[in-house]
Amino acid sequence: MPIETGTKAPGFTLKDQNNQEVSLADFLGEKHVLLVFYPFAFTGVCEGELCGIRDNLDAYQSDEVQVLSVSVDSPFAHKVWANQQGFEFPLLSDFWPHGAVAQAYGVFNDEKGMANRGTFVIDKQGVVRFAEMNLPGEARDQGAWQKALSELAA
């Protein structure tokens, strides 16, 4: 089960598709974070979801909100995928220790060695304000994310 709303979000530092370190702490006090875990790059449902973010980036990312996506893929796989798909938000690698951040958020699938489809909205103080988890193959309702983000803005 994913961590619950109202709890402090576990901190992390992961490498993005440009092999640069990105930390949740980078945004504390500055921006809310939409944190999107997905199983694997180059897969149908994952690609559809991240393309949905890409195509509606203004609805998710702003001066007040940062999108961060996470999978167990390597930064090198993320680089190729980001270039192919035009993703302009961080694709973070939870490659090693394998799935440690997904485990901390309660969305790691031990049986399959990947993250389930976990989504979290984290406020500027680092508190989880929205949490959901879908299983592999189950696409998420991105309207719920937009609603959670708009509630933070109110």
Known catalytic residues?
46
Query: In Å, what is the CA distance from 47 to each residue of 38, 44, 77, 103, 140?
Result: 9, 5, 13, 22, 12
Q: Is 110 exposed, middle or buried (0-12, 13-18, 19+ CB in 10 A)?
A: exposed
* Eight-state DSSP code of residue 31: -
